[in-house]
Chain A
Amino acid sequence: MQKVFRILNEEGLHARPAGALAKTAAEFTSSIEIRANGMTKNAKSIMGVMSLGLSKDAEITIVASGEDEAEALEKLEQLITNKFQI
């Protein structure tokens, strides 16, 4: 399953929020990908997430597939809407 989000952080997805996203994604067994700007990256990889170079207002699609995909998307949604404050 997948869902589209918008990045709300003023400074985009730099090291800290990208780290928070990768860390959260890694808590799940499902494979989780993040798509943006025509690229697809492993959401569990901080380098992958950072390398998308996402600034504020960028649109991303998160694709999760596996047993806990629904939970994973829910948790990631919380994180993104909270501007990555864990």
Chain B
Amino acid sequence: MEGFFSVFTVELLNSGIRLATPILLAALGGAICNQAGVLNLALESKMLLGAFVGIVAAFYLGNSYGGLLVAMIAGGLLGLLFAFLYHKYRVDLVILAIAFNLIIVELTVFVMRAMFGNVGSWSDPSIVRIPDIQIPLIKDIPFIGQILSGYNIIVYFSWLATIVMFVVFYKMRAGRHLRAVGENKSAAETVGINAILLQTLALVISGALAGLGGAFLSIGHLKLFTRNMSNGRGWIAIAAAMFGVNHPIGVFLASLFFGYADAFSVRIQNVTDLPPNLVKLLPNVATLLVLIIIGLRSMIALGMARRRFRAQLRAEEAAIAAEKAL
């Protein structure tokens, strides 16, 4: 048993938060799109593009922060292309996502091999990993300091993005308009909201966030690019957005859950001798379970709504009957 409990350490807490970051960024992007009523299933491809473009830009610019910026721009542009194809040519969003996914998986490796030779993964000693930041004051608080301090800028940005999204969505007009578009597009358009602009904006922002999430993988966490590096995190992010009912705080917590599932599986591989392939199942199984929970949750909500409606109906009937009796 001792071996098993040695899994739980402060490092585990830290790595859970780190591994949650790419999922959180992409999931926030997914939530923005869901709120705006455009199904963004292409998060995976945007992440992968961000991972690749980020590290290549960091190499050529000689500056990893510049790489992050370029990754965000690349993700945003892909989002813009997505919006253009969706609005102009009415392309089915699901097939569009699958096509983009396929293109980016292959194209990134194609370009990598074309530029850097026939390699399976690529890195360069000149590339600097995004440095971790120790927050003054907070880092000195025992335990909490260890958990809250010592991450790189992307992690803090993802927390900031969660807060900003909360404020914009629930305290500002633009956010309310966005949610109105998601709720009922034609109704929003009749009151003069530019639905297409808002949906395009949502796709661009979501692409930028997912791109940054991808760059976190290639220059924030590791320092290399490999084939299909995002490894399904974009899809997990979609589940996280659904699990968190598209609310920033909910999405944050859901992403943490997935981050910990990921960190846990890495940690178990290090300290126990369970077959690594079986332990790697953990994040996927967790996602599947979460999908089932989401399904159960909506079934229960539906059942409750039905019961409420019936009760209301019965009350009204009783009222009518009482009126008649009078």
- Asked if A pairs with B, the answer is no
**Interfacial residues, chain A to chain B (CB-CB below 8 A):** none
